[in-house]
Structure 1
Amino acid sequence: MPSLEDMDLYLPSLPLLLGFLGASLVTLAVPGPSVAYVVARSTAHGRRAGLLSVLGLETGATVHVLVAAVGLGALIARSPVLFEAVRWAGVAYLVWLGTRELLRVRQAAGDDADLVRPRGWRLFADGVLVDVLNPKTAIFFLAFLPQFVSADRGGATGQLVLLGLLFVLLAAAVDATFAVLAGRFSRRLRASARSRRRVSRVTGGVYLALAGTAIAL
């Protein structure tokens, strides 16, 4: 098992580490697609759904960190065909999520039945796929993490992994905060079957909007 001294070898110098933490917090302070996704999940299905979505998203982000650390992320960045393939797979998945949500609302309204909450594993898996199928996350880590690698420390791969995991932990804390806050309003917004359907329509629209953003940017 690695000792604390071994772990220290893979951390950047203190000034670089403090700069990394500050830059990470500034980056995370601006709500992005991940926050929109988490808020939509929490609002539509409650705090637990939002937190499970956060867990899924950050698991997907961890995959990107590991991929970037071993160099596969650079391959995606240099290959327009591979980049576009992953990007359009992500767009298709978001469109599917939005369409599924809207169809659930329509079916529930037609049957005069209440909406069924997605299962926990589905919420988690959706979050993983939404993040994994976003090549821009890989590009972000490739551009962001190497700026804080110390040449006089241990191997660059170890530093990239540790910095990436630190960023993921910070992102999880920020996203979880939004999930909890949105979950507080969820109970009021879902007080009746009609309001729950309205929230689900908005949620489906958010997924489709995220897909449109992924196409435009």
Structure 2
Amino acid sequence: MMPEFILTSLLIIAAPGTGALYTIANGIDGGVRRSLFAALGCTLGIIPHMMAAMSGVAVLLQTSTAIFQFLKYLGVAYLFYMAWSIFRDRNMLAVHHQKSERKSNLQIIISAIFINLLNPKLSIFFLSFLPQFIRAEDAGSLGYLLQLSLIFMALTFVVFACYGIFAAFFRRHLIANTRVQNWLRRGFAIAFAGLAIQLAFVR
């Protein structure tokens, strides 16, 4: 059962999403170090959803339309805020812009946590995904559920870190001139806005 869980988790994690996009953006913008902090923040953002699924809060999200809609549109608003912030930050991908203008490592982590925190789909995902891999002898065992959740988090960090390192490796080739910087910045902004719209239509 464990190999199937790991393979399925990798396929889900590797699919492009807000966390992967944010990690790649930081890898291009600031190199390997910033991408690793972004990957860490996205991984930590999974914890509240994991706890929600384990405590039954995810069931409430499934059954209460009002609560789900509130969290969903809060997430939509934050993604649009991210898109606007990236679009207007003309120094985002400038290789030589002043260090003082950069976000601190803590700010990167906090932003990444909020990106995953304000996504109610994750709680419902944990509720519907993890039970499929609970063995009959471990039914009702929070320990086994926690083990699977921690494995999922570890895989998330590894996959996102690989995305960020790959982006950082090609950083100077991708942003060698201002035109490429502008197109990349607009592309990230549009991608975040697109993810916000996609989340808005989730039922």
Counterparts of 2:171 and 2:198 in 1: how far apart (Å)? 25
Question: Hey, which bits of structure 1, 4+ residues long, moved more than 4 A?
Answer: 192-195
CA deviation vs aligned residue, 1:6-27 (integer Å, no higher than 9, x gap): xxxxxxxxxx223222322232
Counterparts of 1:75 and 1:33 in 2: how far apart (Å)? 24
CA deviation vs aligned residue, 1:86-117 (integer Å, no higher than 9, x gap): 11111111111111222222xx6xxxx94732
Deviation at 1:214, TM superposition (A): 1.4
Contact 2:28–2:171 (8 Å) recurs in 1: yes
What does residue 11 of structure 1 align with? none
Deviation at 1:153, TM superposition (A): 3.0
- The SS at the match of 2:81 is helix
What does residue 71 of structure 2 align with? 86
Residue 115 of structure 2, aligned match among 130, 139, 157: 130
What does residue 173 of structure 1 align with? 158
Contact 2:31–2:168 (8 Å) recurs in 1: yes
Counterparts of 1:199 and 1:208 in 2: how far apart (Å)? 14
Counterparts of 1:119 and 1:46 in 2: how far apart (Å)? 13
| Residues 1:157 and 2:142 aligned together | yes
| Residues 1:66 and 2:77 aligned together | no
Residue 186 of structure 1, aligned match among 163, 167, 171: 171
Deviation at 1:138, TM superposition (A): 0.8
Contact 1:114–1:193 (8 Å) recurs in 2: no
CA deviation vs aligned residue, 1:55-91 (integer Å, no higher than 9, x gap): 1111011221122111112111211111111111111
Report 1:41-52 matches (<5 A). Answer: 41-52=26-37
Greater Rg by CA: 1
Letter of the 1:182 counterpart: A
Aligned length: 196
Change (3 A) 1:23 1:195: closer
Contact 1:46–1:187 (8 Å) recurs in 2: no
- The SS at the match of 2:102 is coil
CA deviation vs aligned residue, 1:107-156 (integer Å, no higher than 9, x gap): x6xxxx94732221111111000101000011111001011112323743
Letter of the 2:49 counterpart: H
- The SS at the match of 1:130 is helix
Letter of the 1:62 counterpart: I
* Structure 1 unaligned regions, length at least 5: 1-15
- The SS at the match of 2:197 is helix
What does residue 210 of structure 1 align with? 195
Contact 1:49–1:120 (8 Å) recurs in 2: yes
Larger displacement relative to structure 2 (62-71 or 206-215) = 206-215
- The SS at the match of 1:152 is helix
* Structure 2 unaligned regions, length at least 5: none
What does residue 106 of structure 2 align with? 121
TM-score, length of structure 2 as denominator length: 0.85
Identity percentage of aligned residues: 30
